Structure 1
Amino acid sequence: MFNRILRGLFTIIGFILGFISGEWFLQLQKLAYFNSTTILRMLFLVFSTLFLGLILFLISPVLSSLIGKVMNYFEENIQKMPTFEILIGAFGAIIGLLISVPFVSLFNDILIGKIIGAVLVLIVTALGADVAVRKKEDITAAIANIRKVGVPKEKKIKLPCNGIPKVLDTSVIIDGRIMDICQSGFIEGSLVIPNFVLDELRHIADSSDSLKRNRGRRGLDVLNKIQKELNVEVIISDKDFPEIEEVDSKLLKLAQVLKGKVITNDYNLNKVAGVQGVPVLNINELANSIKPVVLPGEEMTIQIIKDGKEQEQGIAYLDDGTMIVVEGGKRHIGEIMDVIVTSVLQTAAGRMIFAKQKR
């Protein structure tokens, strides 16, 4: 539909340009013959109008395709830009436009001067936007200093981030550990929370199942804290993909559009993202990677909590939740004992330690 509208507009523009060009050509002495009678004049104007209209009609698909590519390029780049940068760039462009206007009047006498003036306006406007975006931290600091009197000391000013956008999924919001990770400074870039993730959270919070309802409400509480307490830029994205039904697929598509990464602790989403080439930051993998390293032969003191799946096995846990399977530990449930590590098994779900009683 959009291409058809563009094609019609280009054809109309071709008719107009053809008529104007015909009028201009009729003023030339070499074409005075066509201007001698009304019929010849009308025929010439009709020919020039139809000629340019037909040309633009034929080349309009190419022009429409170029316009579509340019629009998609700008849309993708605008989507991955933080809202603050867009606003500060628009502010700089307006300042540049106001500065260039007085100089344009100096070139209005001739046609070439008008062209030079228009080019000058575009250059100064673009320069103003570029300078404003590059100096956004200084502009933000200046605004913060102006408002410093009215801002409580403990209030944090959220500064824009230049890192790769991080798209949060529902599971990682409900999990809540993303709060501590962001506060520790290990996450750079803005946090992007899509509206379809918010809708899913609200749906879970309104569930008739009490367990789901509590998880949904916890996610909304975590989200509220992320927006109010974290000193990072939080973007609520209204970008949606109506042709895609699943929330996880929409999430991956949004990350591709923003050229960002997905933060999750969903094992299946992690695998699908790997197939589609979308970078993923998995909270569970991060937790596993920072667990203490345990080597075979090391000794440790543990308390047997329960019996294991296999005969005579006992189960214990470290403070970080790592499971320890102790051979012959079933008859020592509730006791504190010294064990020796025999092997360590690393899986996608976590680390498992096998041990035996110290003799």
Structure 2
Amino acid sequence: MLKKVLRSLFTIIGLVIGYFVGVLLLKTEYVKSKGYFSGFNINTILFLILITLLFGFILFLISPWINNLISKVVEYTERSMQKLTSIEILFGALGAIIALVISSLLASVLNTTLIGKMIYAVINIVAAVFGADIAIKRREDVMSFFGGFRKATSGRDKKNKFNNKATPKVLDTSVIIDGRIFDICQTGFIEGTLIIPTFVLEELRHIADSSDSLKRNRGRRGLDILNKIQKELNIEVQISEKDFPEIAEVDSKLLKLAQFLDGKVITNDYNLNKVAEFQGVDVLNINELANAIKPVVLPGEEMTIQVIKDGKESGQGIAYLDDGTMIVVEGGRKYIGEVIDVVVTSVLQTAAGRMIFAKEKNAFERQS
């Protein structure tokens, strides 16, 4: 709808421009010398209509490109504004105003001829951009110059300031429900603003209202985790109203939002991780982090474990370390429920995690 309105508007602008161009052409000496358009006759009317329609048609044809250009400029401006703090925006506006006043005074002599007015406008635009940029970069010096405005910040303020400069992190629904994100944030390893999209909140609400008790508990757990992060942790949390109505899937919206904010997605969804990698979006995967910090186990090491169930293959027993790592014990089925000493034979690293293969110590020694 908006594109149609803009296209109609540009067409009308083209018609108006065409009319005035036609009037200016009729006043030129070359056209007057031809004698075809003397006075307000039928030739003059047809000429004005032709020029008006011509410019209207040209603007009608190029309006889609103009619309795309405007959309890109607006999107770039919005994305840039998202990265600025409120104090930076304030200083940028003040710097632009001051630069405009100075440039207007100095370049006012140019504002007489048509070419001079065009140069005057360009100078003002360039001055405003440079003024805003300088004011943002030198805001600390400006504040200290006027004195009394620069206050010693507390540790919390410093931390928040540092976080604002870091890359924003967009939270996925799965990682919120998982709950480990709270503990990771509590340790201080996550820097930057946590972005909670409204469409993720909406999905959590739907899960929390589900008739399935398991889904309902998961949804409520996710909402509780968000409340704990917001109330108990020293980290900035923002609710993003940005939505992409043309995209149906929440995961696709997440990646689009991360690209828009130039941020990263925090998730534990393996498939989302792969799609993000394909689209060039940075991802922080909680499961990869958990696997990375698990203790390294080498073949030949001994450990004491409790076999708790049988494995998929005949005679295998299954045990687990405290961090959840699965240990497959060859010939361990007969030791189910017992605590035994085993020797690690090999370690397999998969996308789902780390898997350790081992043999009962006495059996390993006999085989050796």
Partner of 1:200: 203
Asked if 1:297 is matched to 2:296, the reply is: no
Deviations 1:239-274 (A, max 9, x none): 223233322232233334445432211233334444
The structural deviation recorded for 1:171 is 0.5
Instruction: Give 1:227 shift.
Output: 3.4
Query: Whole-Å Cα distance in 1 between the matches of residues 359 and 66 of structure 2?
Result: 70
* AA of the residue aligned to 2:183: D
Alpha-carbon shift at residue 162 of structure 1 (Å): 4.2
1:39–1:315 distance in 2 versus 1, CA, 3 Å = closer
Cα drift, residue 283 of structure 1: 1.1
Q: Deviations over 1:253-299 (max 9, x none)?
A: 33344454322112333344445554432211221122111111111
Q: Deviations over 1:175-230 (max 9, x none)?
A: 12223334445445443322111101111122233332222122112222333455
CA pair 336-220 structure 1, distance change in 2 beyond 3 A: same
Change (3 A) 1:39 1:310: closer
The residue number in structure 1 matching 2:40 is 39
Give the length in aligned residue pairs: 354
Contact 2:176–2:225, Cα closer than 8 Å, also in 1: yes
* Whole-angstrom distance in 2 between the partners of 1:234 and 1:307: 45
- 8 Å CA contact 2:208–2:220 kept in 1: the answer is yes
- Please tell me whether the aligned partners of residues 313 and 326 of structure 1 are also in contact (alpha carbons under 8 angstroms): yes
Unaligned runs of 5+ in 2: 363-368
Label 1:11 to 1:331 Cα distance change in 2 as closer, same or farther (>3 A): closer
Cα deviation, 1:108-128, whole Å, max 9, x if unaligned, reads 661355444433331222123
Question: What is the identity, as a one-letter code, of the residue corresponding to 1:347?
Answer: T
Calculate the aligned-residue CA RMSD, in Å: 3.8
> What are the within-5 Å matches in structure 2 for residues 44-193 of structure 1?
44=44, 47-48=47-48, 50-62=50-62, 64-78=63-77, 80-81=79-80, 83=82, 85=84, 87-88=86-87, 90-99=89-98, 100-101=100-101, 103-105=103-105, 107=108, 110-111=112-113, 112-134=115-137, 158-159=160-161, 161-193=164-196
Instruction: Name the SS for the 2:298 alignment partner.
Output: coil
User: Could you tell me which residue of structure 2 aligns to residue 9 of structure 1?
Assistant: 9
1:167–1:263 CA contact under 8 A, matched in 2: yes
- Residues 304 and 139 (structure 1 numbering): CA distance in 2 closer, same or farther, change over 3 Å? farther
Instruction: Give me the TM-score of the superposition, normalised by structure 1.
Output: 0.80
TM-score using structure 2 length? 0.78
Q: Return the letter of the residue paired with 2:57.
A: F
Structure 1 residue 341: deviation in Å?
0.8
Between 100-109 and 166-175, report the one with greater CA deviation.
Answer: 100-109
Find the counterpart in structure 1 of residue 244 from structure 2: 241
Deviates more, 1:83-92 or 1:132-141: 132-141
Which residue is equivalent to 1:327? 330
SS for the counterpart of 1:301 is strand
The CA distance in 1 between the partners of 2:86 and 2:117, in whole Å, is 30
Which one-letter code corresponds to 2:160 in the other structure? K
- C-alpha distance in 2, partners of 1:140/1:201? 44
Q: For residues 3 and 86 of structure 1, do their structure 2 counterparts lie closer, same or farther at Cα, with a shift above 3 Å needed?
A: farther
In 2, Cα distance between the equivalents of 1:217 and 1:302? 36
Q: Percent identity?
A: 58
| Alpha-carbon offset, residue 51 of structure 1 | 0.6
Letter in 1 for 2:68: K
Whether contact under 8 Å (1:96, 1:129) holds in the other structure is yes
Q: Residues 143 and 150 of structure 2 are in contact (CA less than 8 Å); yes or no, is this contact kept in structure 1?
A: no
**1:292-344 CA deviation, whole Å, 9 max, x = no partner?**
11111111122334444445443322221112222344444444332211122
Sort the Cα spacing of 1:2 and 1:155 in 2 relative to 1 into closer, same or farther, 3 A: closer
CA distance in 1, matches of 2:194, 2:141: 22
User: Residue in 2 aligned with 1:251?
Assistant: 254
Q: State the secondary structure of the residue aligned to 1:262.
A: strand
Question: Among residues 214, 222, 225, which one is paired with 1:222 in the alignment?
Answer: 225
Q: Is the 8 A contact 1:19 1:46 kept in 2?
A: no
Match of 2:283 in 1: 280
Distance 1:101 1:140 in 2: 21
